[in-house]
Structure 1
Amino acid sequence: MKNVTIVICNYNYERYLVAAIDSALAQDYPGTEVLVIDDGSTDGSRAIVESYGSRVRAVFKENGGQVSAYNHAIGLLDTDYVIFLDSDDVLYPSAVSEVMRLFDGGAWSKVQFRLDVMDRDGALTGASVPHSQPPHDCGKLLRGGWLYPSPPASGNAYRVSALRQIFPVPEEGVNRYGADFYAIYGVALTGPIATVPKSLGGYRVHNAGGETVSFANSEQLTKAPRAFNMRWAILRNLAMDRLGIELPPAFLDFSHEKATFCSNLYHAKLFSRWSWMLHHSRSYLHTIIANPFWSLKKKLGTLVLSSLCLVPYSPLSDFAVRYIANPLARRRVAGR
């Protein structure tokens, strides 16, 4: 049997850490190992980790950020496969068994799966991510600049040898966070990607609700576009230096573009909304019309919703922005 490590990188998440570790230990795949990397927590995380004794392998390091924690973990791995579980997320008991069925049947660099969206208390919201399934050859699309649909960090299982073609990643300065970006997209340049077509874990959204345009936990809406541009530039250098692959200077991704779209249109005056759409929406519209992962129906629906953001009645236009940005807003409407 091939062994798999579940790595839990933690920083000051004592409130959620027990649920994450318990879900890792509850896997029905016998060859599962659990490694906890505590990145210099100042809360009660260390005591929680130590309470598990020999059931988990624990590493306590000085705070260096998420990239530092990933670099450290990948250097320690002695299994062929790994799942990086965020310390506020959970895996369902069959997660490792399901991904290993695919790894055993093909030379995949990564196997990904959906995550059910939870609120901060762990209650399911009815939403799941991602909403689209990518093709196996995501690397070809990446070489054309397209970021493929992927779940957040916890929804990805990697072949360790593929990760080591990308990592270690520079961790200095502003590049302390976003390690999952390099894992998710960098690994796709090393080989094909497989998808388990069902949810195998829970993704905790701390600001869960349909009354906000924000959906991601780690970064503010206005900061995310700048961070992604920086990470793409670093990934380009890594791809060229380590794989001999030249990526284009800019990337295409609807999630990235909608963050820019929403930050400019939400609560904006009518003139400002129209001005942005007339003069700055080219990339946003391109990632809808030319999107290689979407059906025609989804493209048309998103274009119609985008047009509603320009109506003079601000409650309707702001609702349309929230509906585009936040999957939980859609579930709320569906449940009415």
Structure 2
Amino acid sequence: MNQVTVVICNYNYERYLAAAIDSALNQDYPGTQVVVLDDGSTDGSREIIEKYGSRITAIFQENGGQVAAYNHAISALETEYAILLDSDDILYPSAVSEVMQVFKSGSWAKVQFRLDVMDASGAATGAYVPNTEPPANCGELLQAGWLYPSPPASGNAYRVSALKQVFPIPAPGINRYGADFFAIYGAALVGPVATVRKSLGGYRVHNADGGTVSFANSEQISKAPKALGMRWAILRNIAKSRLEIELPATFHDFGHEKAIFCSSVYRATLVHRWRWMMHDSRGYLHAIVANPFWSVKKKFGTLFLSGLCLVPYSPLSDFVVRYISNPLARRRVAQR
């Protein structure tokens, strides 16, 4: 039986950590190992980890950020397959079994699966991510400059040999976070990606509020575009030096352009909204019209909604921005 490691990288998430570890230990796949790497937590995380004793492998390091934690964890992996579970997320009991069935069907570098969105207490919101399924040839799309739809970190299982062709990642002071970006897209440059068409885990959103433009737990929406651009430049260098693959200097991604759109238009004056749409929206509109993952219906729907941001009534414009940016806002509308 092929062995699988569930790696949990943790920093100051004592209130969620036990749920993540328990979900990894409760997998119905017998060949599951659990490694918990703590990145210098200052809360009670260490005590929680030590209570599990020999049921898990514990690694403690000084705080270096998520990239340093991934570098350390991946270098220590001895199994051929791994899931990198965030310490505030959970896996459902059959997650490892189901991804291993897919790995047996081909030479996949990565198998991804949907995650149900939970609020901070762990209650289901009714939403899930991602909402679009990519094709298997994600590497070709990356070479064309398109970031493919992927779940957050916890919704991905990897062939470890693929990860080790991409990692370690340079981890200077400005590149402490976003390690899952390099795993998600780097693996796709090594081999094909498969998708499980069901939710196999839960993704915790700490501010699970459909009344805001914020959805993911990463950087503030105004900072995300800059961080993503930096990560693309690093991935581009790694692809060229280690994999002999040329990636374009720029990339296309609706999530990236959506962050720019939201930070530019949300709660802005009518004049500013018109000015941005007329002069600065080229990348945003291209990410919709040329999107290789979307249906024609979805493209027209998103264009129509985006156009509503130009109406003089600010509450409608702000509602539309929330609706486009935050899946929980769409869920709230559906429940009415």
The gaps in structure 1 that reach 5 residues or longer are none
Aligned to 1:155: 155
Within 2, Cα distance between the matches of 1:140 and 1:75?
A: 27
Report the AA paired with residue 18 of structure 1: A
Report the AA paired with residue 243 of structure 1: L
Offset of residue 172 of structure 1: 1.0
Aligned to 2:203: 203
| TM-score calculated relative to the size of structure 2 | 1.00
Within 2, Cα distance between the matches of 1:30 and 1:122?
A: 26
Report the AA paired with residue 71 of structure 1: N
Aligned to 2:57: 57
Does residue 253 of structure 1 match 2:228?
A: no
Offset of residue 173 of structure 1: 1.5
Aligned to 1:48: 48
Within 2, Cα distance between the matches of 1:262 and 1:172?
A: 29
Alignment of 1:88-103 (within 5 A): 88-103=88-103
Alignment of 1:1-336 (within 5 A): 1-336=1-336
Report the AA paired with residue 302 of structure 2: T
Within 2, Cα distance between the matches of 1:287 and 1:75?
A: 36
Offset of residue 267 of structure 1: 0.3
Offset of residue 310 of structure 1: 1.0
Report the AA paired with residue 74 of structure 2: I
Q: Can you list the C-alpha shifts for 1:134-157, whole angstroms capped at 9, x where unaligned? A: 000000000000000000000000
Q: Can you list the C-alpha shifts for 1:91-121, whole angstroms capped at 9, x where unaligned? A: 0000000000010111000000000000000
Report the AA paired with residue 16 of structure 2: Y
SS at match of 2:180: helix
Offset of residue 63 of structure 1: 0.2
Offset of residue 302 of structure 1: 0.3
Within 1, Cα distance between the matches of 2:222 and 2:19?
A: 31
Within 1, Cα distance between the matches of 2:152 and 2:55?
A: 26
Offset of residue 3 of structure 1: 0.4
Within 1, Cα distance between the matches of 2:42 and 2:218?
A: 19
- Cα RMSD (Å) of the superposition? 0.4
4+ residue runs over 3 A deviation: none
Q: Can you list the C-alpha shifts for 1:163-212, whole angstroms capped at 9, x where unaligned? A: 01100000111100010000000110001000000000000000101110
Percent identity over paired residues:
74
Within 2, Cα distance between the matches of 1:251 and 1:22?
A: 38
Offset of residue 218 of structure 1: 1.7
Within 2, Cα distance between the matches of 1:123 and 1:216?
A: 16
Q: Can you list the C-alpha shifts for 1:50-106, whole angstroms capped at 9, x where unaligned? A: 000000000010000000000000111010000000000000000000000010111
SS at match of 2:104: helix
Within 1, Cα distance between the matches of 2:136 and 2:105?
A: 14
The gaps in structure 2 that reach 5 residues or longer are none
Report the AA paired with residue 32 of structure 1: T
Give the total of aligned pairs. 336
Within 2, Cα distance between the matches of 1:98 and 1:311?
A: 47
SS at match of 1:165: helix
| TM-score calculated relative to the size of structure 1 | 1.00
Within 2, Cα distance between the matches of 1:285 and 1:263?
A: 16
Within 2, Cα distance between the matches of 1:283 and 1:93?
A: 41
SS at match of 1:299: helix
